[in-house]
Amino acid sequence: MTSLPHPRELSQPADVRIRIDSLHRRFQLKDREVVALGDVTFDVADHEFVSLIGPSGCGKSTVLNIAAGLMTPTSGSVHIDGELVTRPLAKVGYIFQKDTTFPWKTVEDNIGIGLAYRGVPAEERRRRVAEMVRMAKLEGFEKAYPAMLSGGMRQRVALMRSFIVEPEVLMMDEPFGALDTHTRLNLHDELLRLWERTRQVILFVTHDLSEAITLSDRIVLLSHRPSRVKAIVDIPLKRPRDVITLRETPEYLEIYRDLWHLLGEEFQLESEG
Amino acid sequence: MRSRRWSIHFWQAVIVIVVLLIWEYGTQVPWITRHIKILDPFFISTPSRIVQRFIELSNPALPVTLPERVLSTLAHTIVGFFVGVSTGFLAGLYLGRDRYLAAVFEPFIIAFNTLPRIALVPLVTLLFGFGSLAKIMMAWLICFFIVFFNTFEGVKNVDRDIVNSARMLGATRGQIMRTVYLPAALGWTFASLTPAISFALIGVVIGEFLGGDQGIGYLIILSLATLESADMMVALIVLAAVGIALALIVRRAERYLLRWQPRYYAPTDGAD
């Protein structure tokens, strides 16, 4: 086991929005106890797109669930804008890997549901939903039910459903993990275009290295379970990024190689342990 | 496809006509009635006699006409059905969400559910007499449990991630109930409605066997006492028609309310 630097030395962004402090989480299984999170600490600054990557089962999603207020840590804490997270906050949006569109609602009703929850008048809701539908290129499918759509279209609906309520912080748990490469690249492009307009804080969980590099400002690399922050890497690729051509630039390839190396050490540990 | 459908209808019509012909004329051949008991008109009457009794039983001069009997059975079934479905649905919805309450009630519910509901007819009659209330109670009891169990399972099976996504979109507890639990459970609830309406009809008819002088069930028992097989056949045919009509109406309603489910529309291939 390599000795890790103190997390706070790894990165110190200026205007912190999300502060994740010494997160520790144990799970009680039937016959044994699993320590998912050893000690996870990092910050996310304003307007930052941060990806969380690591070997499978390292607790990336656990960090996200705790940060979203859907799960409680065994110890440690998450603060968003100074507020301790104990339940879902109104300013935080969340996108799941699994399709969580409401199958009993049409595309437009799905996209508008967050506005309906907030009591936004029907007229304004219609207008904003129409705009989102146009942006997601879902015209003609407004009245369709999710089961009639492809996986990619459904995830687009989920994306728009979160963006329409304009969350200040958006957490995404492998949102494109179940999609084919082509669809995934399209959605990367769409996500980046949406994000360029508003630049909200995004915390993005993935196990796909190229996805993380394409999208992020910084990448937080978690170690094998019980996970700690192994490295925090800046991605200085300039924006706006073209998700296709970006992959051919030498800068991208260099970052990819470095990260692959770091990640590889974890895979090795995984197979040994 | 169309010609195939018509040929199916054609053969169905042929079967009906052949059965009716054998029923009408086969039952008049002494050799047949002597050797094949089921074709003895004493037991199964004949189509012409059944039609004749159908008309006689509908005579407005009678104290209770056939349409009045049908209406009585139908009214008890439908009232019991609606009360049973609504109470069963609400109970399933709330107990399904509250794991603590569900755990407390579980053994009692299982015990009660294993009891054949038909065995409760005498008790219900004892409690509520021979009038309408007893019949409605029977239909209610039956529908309640069928709908309750299905809704309960439906709520327990609601996808946690969909609930969480609603929470993350800012839904209050009430909004989650209305926009997630309720529609998700409805799929399960509706699946139980067709059996519920059929069993409600059974409950009412058995209630009518036992007491009162209304309903189609009473006509069946009466015909047994008077050995009038034509009346029994009239009652059975009407009962079948009522049962089919109720089931069809319920299925129509289900189809409309669950139009978001894939099996109710031809899926289009969504393209990216």
Average pLDDT over residues B127-152: 91
CATH 3.40.50.300 in chain A, residues?
Answer: 9-91+175-272
Q: What is the pLDDT of residue A142?
A: 93
Nearest to B171 among A96, A106, A117 (CB): A117
Confidence of residue B267 (pLDDT cuts 50, 70, 90): very low
| pLDDT tens-digit profile, chain A (273 residues) | 445 555 555 555 568 999 999 999 999 888 888 888 989 999 999 999 999 998 877 889 999 999 999 999 999 999 999 999 999 998 999 999 889 999 999 999 999 999 999 999 999 999 999 999 998 889 999 999 999 999 999 999 999 999 999 999 999 999 998 889 999 999 999 999 989 988 999 999 998 999 999 999 999 999 888 889 999 999 999 999 999 899 999 999 999 999 998 888 776 665 554
Does any CB of chain A come closer than 8 Å to the CB of residue B157?
no
**Residue B27 one-letter amino acid:** T
Q: What is the pLDDT of residues B143-185, one digit of tens each?
A: 999 999 899 888 888 888 999 999 999 999 999 999 999 888 8
**Class for domain A9-91+175-272, per CATH?**
alpha beta
For residue B259, is pLDDT > 70?
A: yes
Q: Do B161 and A100 touch (CB under 8 A)?
A: yes
Q: What is the pLDDT of residue B266?
A: 43
Nearest to A150 among B169, B183, B270 (CB): B270
Mutation for B interface: A113, A118, A120, most B CBs within 10 A: A113
Q: How far apart are CA B257 and CA B187, in angstroms?
A: 9
Q: How far apart are CA A163 and CA A112, in angstroms?
A: 10
Average pLDDT over residues B125-137: 90
Residue B192 structure tokens: 């139980």
DSSP designation for B39: G
- Compute the mean pLDDT over every residue in chain B, rounded to the nearest whole number: 88
Does any CB of chain A come closer than 8 Å to the CB of residue B172?
yes
For chain B, domain boundaries:
1-44, 47-260
Average pLDDT over residues B246-251: 91
**Residue A233 one-letter amino acid:** V
Q: What is the pLDDT of residue A232?
A: 94
The enclosing H or E element of A19 equals strand A16-28
CA-closest candidate to residue A221, choices A235, A233, A237 = A233
Q: How far apart are CA B84 and CA B203, in angstroms?
A: 12
What pTM does this model have? 0.76
Q: What is the pLDDT of residue B271?
A: 37
Length of chain B equals 272
Please give the interface size between A and B, counted as residue pairs whose CB atoms are below 8 Å apart.
Answer: 86
For residue B20, is pLDDT > 50?
A: yes
Q: Do B169 and A161 touch (CB under 8 A)?
A: yes
Mutation for B interface: A66, A100, A153, most B CBs within 10 A: A100
The CATH code belonging to domain B47-260 is: 1.10.3720.10
Q: What is the pLDDT of residues B51-73, one digit of tens each?
A: 999 999 998 888 889 999 999 99
CA-closest candidate to residue A19, choices A43, A46, A50 = A43
Measured between CA atoms, the residue of chain A closest to residue B180 is A102
Q: What is the pLDDT of residue B269?
A: 40
- B172 contacts in chain A (CB < 8 Å): 117
For B58-192, where are the alpha helices, taking DSSP H only? Answer: 66-97, 99-114, 121-128, 132-156, 160-168, 173-176, 182-191
Q: How far apart are CA B88 and CA B144, in angstroms?
A: 4
Cα A117 off chain centre by: 23
**Residue A273 one-letter amino acid:** G
- A114 contacts in chain B (CB < 8 Å): 169-170
Q: Do A144 and B170 touch (CB under 8 A)?
A: no
Q: What is the pLDDT of residue B114?
A: 83
Q: Do B186 and A88 touch (CB under 8 A)?
A: no
Q: What is the pLDDT of residue B270?
A: 38
**Residue B164 one-letter amino acid:** N
ipTM above 0.90, yes or no: no
Q: What is the pLDDT of residues A217-264, one digit of tens each?
A: 999 999 888 889 999 999 999 999 999 899 999 999 999 999 998 888
Q: Do B268 and A94 touch (CB under 8 A)?
A: no
Lowest mean pLDDT across A105-114, B34-43, B84-93, B176-185? B34-43
CA-closest candidate to residue B77, choices B165, B168, B196 = B196
The alpha carbon of residue B97 is apart from the nearest alpha carbon of chain A, in Å, by: 18
Average pLDDT over residues B25-50: 87
Q: What is the pLDDT of residue B73?
A: 94
